[in-house]
């Protein structure tokens, strides 16, 4: 029978602590990598830090890296939708299982395609996909979206919010303007923006 030496027993005692340390490190890295989305109005901007008053009345300060591009917002409608276009469509499920859009936007052709949970509304889903077909009617439209590994039909009721991102500038970040910011946790336990889209000429981000 093999006896466990003092060094081995010490190592066995340390293993749970080592495992815990590795797990905490992995969780911290995951937390830093996850995007946090903010929606609200601009409360302040000093050229480096953007202050946003959120829809629930709370506030958040977000660091804006110097080279981060700023997007403004322009109008987008079903008349602009064409087969082959890559769309980002946020949906909710109806009781009968059908999917209804609550936001429709054209997105970059290089954006990863697929379905993923989204935080625009509770239990909403983001679908990034190529438009295969569109059936237009007076009150509601139907989109057939192909995301490479599958396809989905989405109803788009009349009045569904739609917008498109266009090139903007830091000069568009004016007080009171509606803004959408996607950010990540930074090492100072604050937030650093990875994407900013601001309203312009009365057209606000819909995502």
The domain that holds 189 is classified in CATH as 2.40.50.140
Over range 114-124, report the average pLDDT.
96
Number of domains comprising the chain: 3
116 CA to centre of own chain? 10
Task: Report if residue 205 sits inside a domain.
Answer: no
Same domain for 124 and 151?
yes
Comparing CA positions, the residue from 152, 146, 160 lying closest to residue 104 is: 160
What Cα–Cα distance (Å) separates residue 35 from each residue in 30, 38, 192?
10, 10, 10
Task: Report if residue 203 sits inside a domain.
Answer: no
Task: Report if residue 82 sits inside a domain.
Answer: yes
- pLDDT, tens digit, 9 for 90 and up, residues 5-44: 555 555 455 544 444 444 344 333 434 458 999 999 999 9
Q: Which domain holds residue 93?
A: 76-157
Over range 96-102, report the average pLDDT.
96
Task: Report if residue 117 sits inside a domain.
Answer: yes
Same domain for 86 and 108?
yes
Note the pLDDT of residue 136. Answer: 84
pLDDT > 90? residue 137: no
């Amino acid at each position: 029978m093999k006896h466990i030496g003092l060094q081995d027993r010490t190592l066995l005692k340390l293993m749970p602590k080592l495992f815990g340390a590795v797990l905490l490190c992995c969780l911290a890295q995951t937390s830093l990598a996850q995007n946090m989305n903010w929606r609200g109005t601009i409360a302040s901007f000093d050229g480096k830090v953007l202050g946003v008053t959120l829809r629930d009345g709370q506030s958040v300060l977000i660091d804006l890296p110097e080279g981060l591009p700023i997007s403004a917002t322009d109008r987008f409608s079903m008349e602009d939708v064409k087969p082959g276009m890559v769309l980002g469509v946020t949906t909710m499920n109806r009781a009968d299982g059908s999917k209804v859009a609550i936001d429709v936007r054209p997105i970059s052709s290089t954006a990863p395609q697929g379905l993923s949970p989204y935080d625009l509304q509770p239990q909403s889903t983001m679908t990034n996909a190529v438009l295969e077909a569109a059936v237009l009617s007076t009150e509601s439209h139907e989109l057939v979206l192909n995301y490479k590994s599958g396809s989905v039909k989405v109803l788009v009721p009349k009045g569904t919010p739609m917008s498109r991102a266009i090139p903007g500038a830091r000069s568009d970040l004016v007080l009171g303007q509606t803004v959408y910011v996607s950010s990540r946790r930074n090492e100072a336990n604050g937030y650093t923006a990875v994407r900013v889209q601001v309203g312009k000429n009365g057209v606000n981000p819909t995502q």
